[in-house]
């Protein structure tokens, strides 16, 4: 099958006071048409930077190496003008903070219309009709009225629906959702996830879902990549990830999900924190926090290898060198 998005050996570096810092270091993944890919990892592991690289929206002190191809088009070398045609039209984005993702001075309708007018050849009236029908599609009651309302008149959940309406307005082939439910409370979270799944089934778009909530992953995703310190450490389908996690980091993440069955005083945690980007260890980046660490882990960095069919893992435990 032809992947809609294919990222190969993506390296993102930031120019800072500490020198050139590598934030994303050799990330590979692909997304198939109609697939939902989960990108999991804790704060600072490079999830958002990866997604912003795909949109080419990184700040100017960042540089990208490697390749990101969207439907065979190389995005990293696309001129800015052509990139503006891709944004919102082919690839759309949903942001984390619905409270601040809408311009407070424009009406909801005007903001949805702006995308439609940019990418579709429509008249004013058609744009307005489409905006209203998009508001209806994301389950907004009284869509005609909300069209003329300002963001501050809407609740967080409704604003996130507006963001989704904006993202879906031009039938993009890929939607990047960067923690779309993190800022919402639990019941609204469930509604928004349901909505995204429904819309995905109707339109067949692919979704790249960035989250640190494994519950969201279990509910939404077909396949998952787990990121740690700017690298992919495990990649597999969602069932395997929960039933048979291989990487000690993934195992730690899954163990730290609270469950109702066990009556424990403390939740499981992974000790330590992510190494700073300018102080990356020589060997495996997770070695200092790993419960199954071996001598080789501090010496040499492991590679991402296919250890089973459809299951990749970056760990010495599953190699001959590590087993000895």
Partner 1 sequence: MKTFKKFLRTGLGLIGAVIILSLILCALFASQIAPFDPNAQDYNKILLEPGGEHLFGTDDLGRDIFSRVVYGAQISIKAALLSVGIAILIGVPIGLLSGYFGGFWDEWVVMRSVDAMQAFPFLILALAIAAVLGNGFGNAMIAIGIGFAPAFIRITRGQVLQLRNMEYIHAAKSTGVKDMRIIFSHILPNALNPIIIQSTLAMAAGILAEASLSYLGLGVQPPTPSWGSMLNQAQTLMNVAPYATFYPGMAIFLVVLGFNLLGDGLQQTLDPRIRK
| Three-class DSSP labels, 149-198 | CCHHHCCHHHHHHHHHHHHHCCCCCEEEEECCCCCCCHHHHHHHHHHHHH
Residues whose CB falls within 8 Å of the CB of residue 289, separated by 6 or more in sequence, listed in order: 249, 252, 270, 271, 272, 273
CB of 59 to partner 1, least distance (A): 9
Minimum distance of partner 1 from residue 239's CB (angstroms): 32
Tell whether residue 79 is a contact of partner 1 (CB under 8 A).
no
Q: Which of 63, 100, 133, 256 binds partner 1 (CB under 8 A)?
A: 100
Pick the closer one to partner 1 by CB: 108 or 297: 108
Identify the CA nearest to 177 among candidates 155, 192, 188.
Answer: 192
Work out whether the CA dihedral 24, 29, 30, 34 comes out positive or negative: negative
Residue 159 to residue 146: CA distance in whole angstroms? 11
Between 108 and 284, CB nearer to partner 1: 108
Rounded to 5 degrees, φ, ψ at 288 are: -65, -20
Any idea which residue has 């089934």 for tokens? Answer: 201
Assess 17 for contact with partner 1 (CB under 8 A): no
Contact set for partner 1, span 144-163 (CB under 8 A)? 163
Total interface residues for partner 1 by CB under 8 A: 28
Question: Around Cβ 299, how many Cβ atoms within 10 Å?
Answer: 12
User: According to the binding rule CB under 8 A, does residue 95 interact with partner 1?
Assistant: yes
Binding mask 51-70 for partner 1 (x = CB under 8 A): ----x-x--x----------
In angstroms, give the least distance from the CB of 55 to partner 1: 6
Contacts to partner 1 by CB under 8 A:
55, 57, 60, 84-89, 92-93, 95-97, 100-106, 114-115, 118-119, 163, 166-167
């Amino acid at each position: 099958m032809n992947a809609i998005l294919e990222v190969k050996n993506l390296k993102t570096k930031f120019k800072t006071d500490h020198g050139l810092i590598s934030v994303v270091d050799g990330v590979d993944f692909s997304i198939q048409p109609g697939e939902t890919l989960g990108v999991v990892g804790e704060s600072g592991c490079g999830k958002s930077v990866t997604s912003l690289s795909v949109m080419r929206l990184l700040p100017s002190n960042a540089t990208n190496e490697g390749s990101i191809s969207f439907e065979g088009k190389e995005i990293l070398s696309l001129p800015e003008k052509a990139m503006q045609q891709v944004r919102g039209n082919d690839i759309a984005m949903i942001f984390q903070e619905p409270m601040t993702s809408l311009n407070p001075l424009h009406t909801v309708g005007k903001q949805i219309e702006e995308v439609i007018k940019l990418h579709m050849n429509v008249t004013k009236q058609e744009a307005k009709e489409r905006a209203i029908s998009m508001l209806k599609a994301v389950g907004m009651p009284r869509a005609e009225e909300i069209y003329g309302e300002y963001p501050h008149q809407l609740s967080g959940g409704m604003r996130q629906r507006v963001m989704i309406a904006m993202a879906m307005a031009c039938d993009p082939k890929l939607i990047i959702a960067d923690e779309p439910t993190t800022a919402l409370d639990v019941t609204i979270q469930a509604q928004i996830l349901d909505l995204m799944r429904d819309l995905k089934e109707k339109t067949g778009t692919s979704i790249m879902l960035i989250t640190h909530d494994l519950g969201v992953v279990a509910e939404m995703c077909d396949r998952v990549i787990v990121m740690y310190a700017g690298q992919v450490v495990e990649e597999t389908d969602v069932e395997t990830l929960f039933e048979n996690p291989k990487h000690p980091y993934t195992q730690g993440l899954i163990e730290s999900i609270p469950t109702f069955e066990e009556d424990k005083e403390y939740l499981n945690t992974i000790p330590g924190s992510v190494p700073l980007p300018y102080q990356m260890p020589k060997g495996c980046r997770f070695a200092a926090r790993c419960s199954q660490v071996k001598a080789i882990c501090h010496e040499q960095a492991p590679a991402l290898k296919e250890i089973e069919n459809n299951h990749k893992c970056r760990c010495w435990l599953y190699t001959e060198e590590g087993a000895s």
